[in-house]
Amino acid sequence: MPSNFLTQLQSMTESHGLLFGENTAPYCLDQRRRFQGQALAVARPKSTEQLVELVKLCAEHHIAMVPQGGNTSLCGAATPDSSGHSLIIAFERMNQFIEVDADNNTITVDAGVTLQQVQTAALAANRLFPANWGAAASCQIGGALATNAGGVNVLRYGNMRELTLGLEVVLADGTIWHGLRGLRKDNTGYDLKQLFVGAEGTLGLISRAVLRLYPLPTAHATALIDVDSPAVAVELLRDLQAKVGDRVTSFELISRPCLDLLKRHFPELQQPFSPSPAWCVLLELSDGGNSEQLISQLAEILFDAGFSNAYVAQNQRQAQDFWRLRERIPEAQRIEGVSIKHDISIPVGDIPRFLTECQNELIQQYPDANIVAFGHLGDGNLHYNLFLTEKTALIYQFELAINAIVYRLVAQYNGSISAEHGIGQLKKQSLSQYRTATELLMMRSIKQALDPQQLMNPGKVLLDLNQQID
Amino acid sequence: MPSNFLTQLQSMTESHGLLFGENTAPYCLDQRRRFQGQALAVARPKSTEQLVELVKLCAEHHIAMVPQGGNTSLCGAATPDSSGHSLIIAFERMNQFIEVDADNNTITVDAGVTLQQVQTAALAANRLFPANWGAAASCQIGGALATNAGGVNVLRYGNMRELTLGLEVVLADGTIWHGLRGLRKDNTGYDLKQLFVGAEGTLGLISRAVLRLYPLPTAHATALIDVDSPAVAVELLRDLQAKVGDRVTSFELISRPCLDLLKRHFPELQQPFSPSPAWCVLLELSDGGNSEQLISQLAEILFDAGFSNAYVAQNQRQAQDFWRLRERIPEAQRIEGVSIKHDISIPVGDIPRFLTECQNELIQQYPDANIVAFGHLGDGNLHYNLFLTEKTALIYQFELAINAIVYRLVAQYNGSISAEHGIGQLKKQSLSQYRTATELLMMRSIKQALDPQQLMNPGKVLLDLNQQID
């Protein structure tokens, strides 16, 4: 079957940008180097029409399709399995269409356009596209949507889901769903676009999207604050929101081990605190008007609330320096070595207790644990990572046991084992444990309804049925 | 079958609050008096457990279920068909549970709790639940969610969909889906709750919900502004948002015929303008801090932008008077007589052209047409209603022809024939015309996956298959 498929694939047209053999290698390895697969080929369509041709050919020959954007998934969601029987569909050449409608506050883009390109196009129209995270320059909108990615501005603007108004999707049989509407309100039946956002390509392939734009803030105020404890951080968040509402754009919690890692691996990055506080908050307000006023308003609020060890950036350079501390944490971790990572969320008010309880349990089991916790406190989302300082080389042996401790507590607080990174291959086993049989059954029945041949990114999100039964 | 079902229903327990015969009449008529049906009985469960019992009994006996909240649907979504073979499930007694989590900015409520109860409970915790519309005192959260209702604050806070974090749903077979999570970020598989929001009870019955709360604004500024034309209104909206961002909470467009109707039927309501402008905008800003500052900021912006015929409310009473003008438009219409109503949305920037083109076409066909247009301009959502002054009694004869003109133009602008009221029975025929075969097929396959017996609110949203084929 594959050889017949390959013949037809090659005979179709050169413009699919086909890659074979060694040229497929970079597409078969995920960026964290935890998943390596094999593929029949990589196809790189340039248009929705070419994508349709490919999907129809795959459907006809029963060939699995693995969509891939910037290959920046943290869960192996874009990496094929090892069978070598699937076709990777890379969107890098579907990146031409970018259209801003400033009156409607929307931007319409091809799936292969990078997040940074969207940000830049919005800026040129004096608008903000608020989604932002580390991989902005390389990740693509299709992947960001398929993952329902989050980032540092979710507190104010929402995840990719909330930023999406319309989608064009190529369905499993090659039919195009034309859902490219730029409407704020549309109650005409089931909200189909919601199914594809966060589905990691398992229900259909997003080819184009209409995204929300926002007024471009002209004022910014950034502060780095010693907060003593996560409980004080939550209190500060609610106090600030009561006073300045949605101007609170980012609210990031950082623990001392993060600052220690930064000191060790990036000594050139200045840290205002000495000694390092147990917990600090990096926050940003944004607004219209001018920055001076917002900066003095923020300073006043922090002073009134009694934060004596707080640094309010006086200019953009200082603000960037503060942000660089937050942005370099993942890199400092990579340099430090291998860790067991969690991307969890729980109700915001429960985070202080969760942090204490989880640390206590982990330290009891793993006295050499170094817990590097940080993240988007405003969204209840923690990146909760664990190094074993005495058994780094063996750490993956303990992964399941460590996950079990963390996820059990997350479940106790009615939280999520994947807040913003998705499931991919990495967490599909955990998903089947931490979501109910009813939920898994509903997901399967939706999958069955939209992809009856099970060809769309198989082996991601949901376990294969035989694995499920094991 | 029904008699056997009824025997079992009555033998189950008195606590289902069963109603029969004449007592079911108020539940069988929609509030606009356009749809009248019949039912075997009305059941009024007090808890999710009782609801489960009812659903299981219905599933066993193949009895259709029609969920009903405050019976305020504008499209007949909660009215049974005339067969008399379905069971109405009214949620009025499932209204006990209301729990605010101020730290997490969430409220968890039973489906039968009214919108006003949610607003009040939020206020008591110094928080805002922002959804608001005319029927707040009588509509229930379950219905509001099933309709994905909108209202006057969508511009800033979103529809019910965006205000929902988690749901508990009783599925078609009586299984409970426990999706009551209060998380801002949760990427663990398909976002199941999105399926039930806006599905009008056709996929399952929402029994409880976790909703977002917001900081309670302490400052308000309200203005009524002569804008000359809808194009000037769009320009003002974007100018305001550039200057004060999300503080723009409501932005309502009102046409002269609305003001005329108010003068005729509510002469006691003071209108600041004389003569009435062709178009005016009612807008509200809200923020932390105090109102005086916000009011003078708004006055300054309007003055700088050259709006000479603008009234900024100087106190809460004046603001309420302005809002009363907007709120009384629907009632003034009802007193005036029967009209053909549309609840449409199109991209905001296209509204000015749409209004001109649609009016021209309609007046050409119906020289006696009085077009009463108003609505949520900030969301691209217009309530676009048409009186025929010389043929009021016969107006419904022209409904399809009038709809055809309006909807064709809406479709040209890639808009929606139902922005916030849903489909129900009223628009299911139109839905099948104005959404593509692919979309309808996707909806049907999802319906089939979650409600294979077709027992959940049948005859709503989607046409019966045999009607479809006609």
The answer as to whether A461 is a domain residue is no
Query: By the CB < 8 Å criterion, does B376 face chain A?
Result: yes
Q: Do both A224 and A301 map to the same domain? A: yes
The answer as to whether B59 is a domain residue is yes
Q: What is the pLDDT of residues A310-330, one digit of tens each?
A: 999 999 999 999 999 999 999
The answer as to whether A457 is a domain residue is no
Question: Which of B224, B381, B219, B378 shows the shortest CA–CA distance to B285?
Answer: B219
Angstroms from B332 CA to nearest CA on chain A? 25
The SS3 assignment for B363 reads: helix
The answer as to whether A446 is a domain residue is no
The SS3 assignment for A233 reads: helix
Structural domain for B40, as ranges: 2-90
Give the per-residue pLDDT at B12: 80
Q: Do both B232 and B312 map to the same domain? A: yes
Say if the Cβ atoms of A414 and B171 lie within 8 Å: no
Among A173, A187, A218, most B C-beta atoms within 10 A, so best to mutate, is A187
Say if the Cβ atoms of B461 and A189 lie within 8 Å: yes
Is the pLDDT score of A469 beyond 80?
no
CATH code for position B244? 3.30.70.2190
CATH code for position A112? 3.30.465.10
**Chain B residues in contact with A126 (beta carbon < 8 A):** 242
CATH code for position B371? 3.30.70.2740
The SS3 assignment for B398 reads: helix
Q: What is the pLDDT of residues A152-183, one digit of tens each?
A: 999 999 999 999 999 999 999 999 999 999 99
Give the per-residue pLDDT at B463: 87
**Chain A residues in contact with B187 (beta carbon < 8 A):** 147-148, 198, 416, 418-423
Q: What is the dihedral of CA A69, A74, A80, A81, to 10 degrees?
A: -170
Angstroms from A347 CA to nearest CA on chain B? 6
Say if the Cβ atoms of B420 and A187 lie within 8 Å: yes
- Identify which of B184, B349, B379 has the shortest CB distance to residue A103: B349
Q: Do both A204 and A291 map to the same domain? A: no
Q: Do both A377 and A300 map to the same domain? A: no
Q: How far apart are CA B252 and CA B244, in angstroms?
A: 17
Q: Do both A274 and A315 map to the same domain? A: yes
Q: Do both B315 and B343 map to the same domain? A: no
Q: Do both A151 and A42 map to the same domain? A: no
Out of A291, A326, A361, a domain closes at A326
A192 Cβ neighbours under 8 A, 6+ residues apart:
A177, A179, B439, B442, B443
Query: What integer is the mean pLDDT of A268-282?
Result: 96
Q: Is the ipTM of this complex over 0.90?
A: yes
Out of A180, A215, A250, a domain closes at A215
The answer as to whether B123 is a domain residue is yes
Say if the Cβ atoms of B181 and A438 lie within 8 Å: no
- Kindly state the tokens that stand for B460: 């709503």
Q: Do both B200 and B242 map to the same domain? A: no
- Kindly state the tokens that stand for A200: 């990691």
**Chain A residues in contact with B195 (beta carbon < 8 A):** 190-191, 194-195, 446
Residue pair B293/B415 in contact by the 8 Å Cβ criterion? no
Among B184, B290, B433, most A C-beta atoms within 10 A, so best to mutate, is B184
Residue pair B257/B264 in contact by the 8 Å Cβ criterion? no
Angstroms from A242 CA to nearest CA on chain B? 5
Q: Which residues numbered 247-306 in B keep a CB inside 8 Å of some CB on A?
A: 247, 287-289
Strands B65-68 and B87-90: parallel
Question: Which of A391, A384, A396 shows the shortest CA–CA distance to A366?
Answer: A391
Domain total for chain A?
Answer: 4
**Residue B292 CB neighbours (<10 A):** 11
Residue of A nearest to B379 (CA): A184
pLDDT in tens, chain B (470 residues): 567 999 999 888 666 799 999 999 999 999 989 999 999 999 999 999 999 999 999 999 999 999 999 999 999 999 999 999 999 999 999 999 999 999 999 999 999 999 999 999 999 999 999 999 999 999 999 999 999 999 999 999 999 999 999 999 999 999 999 999 999 999 999 999 999 999 999 999 999 999 999 999 999 999 999 999 999 999 999 999 999 998 999 999 999 999 999 999 999 999 999 999 999 999 999 998 899 999 999 999 999 999 999 999 999 999 999 999 999 999 999 999 999 999 999 999 999 999 999 999 999 999 999 999 999 999 999 999 999 988 888 999 999 999 999 999 999 999 999 999 999 999 999 999 999 999 999 999 999 999 999 999 999 999 876 554 43
Say if the Cβ atoms of A347 and B186 lie within 8 Å: no
- Identify which of A104, A155, A348 has the shortest CB distance to residue B104: A348
Say if the Cβ atoms of A189 and B345 lie within 8 Å: no
Q: Do both A258 and A310 map to the same domain? A: yes
Q: Which residues numbered 414-433 in A keep a CB inside 8 Å of some CB on B?
A: 414-423, 427, 431
Say if the Cβ atoms of A189 and B439 lie within 8 Å: yes
Angstroms from A88 CA to nearest CA on chain B? 21
Out of B65, B90, B115, a domain closes at B90
The answer as to whether A397 is a domain residue is yes
Q: Do both A153 and A171 map to the same domain? A: yes
Q: How many residues does chain A have?
A: 470
- Quickly state the pLDDT bin for A468 (edges 50, 70, 90): very low
Q: How far apart are CA A358 and CA B168, in angstroms?
A: 28
Say if the Cβ atoms of A190 and B181 lie within 8 Å: no
Say if the Cβ atoms of A187 and B422 lie within 8 Å: yes
Q: Do both A354 and A294 map to the same domain? A: no
Q: Do both A311 and A228 map to the same domain? A: yes
Residue of A nearest to B177 (CA): A438
Q: What is the pLDDT of residues B235-292, one digit of tens each?
A: 999 999 999 998 999 999 999 999 999 999 999 999 999 999 999 999 999 998 899 9
The answer as to whether A115 is a domain residue is yes
- Identify which of B347, B421, B435 has the shortest CB distance to residue A189: B435
Q: How far apart are CA A117 and CA A125, in angstroms?
A: 13
The answer as to whether B418 is a domain residue is no
Is the pLDDT score of A14 beyond 70?
no
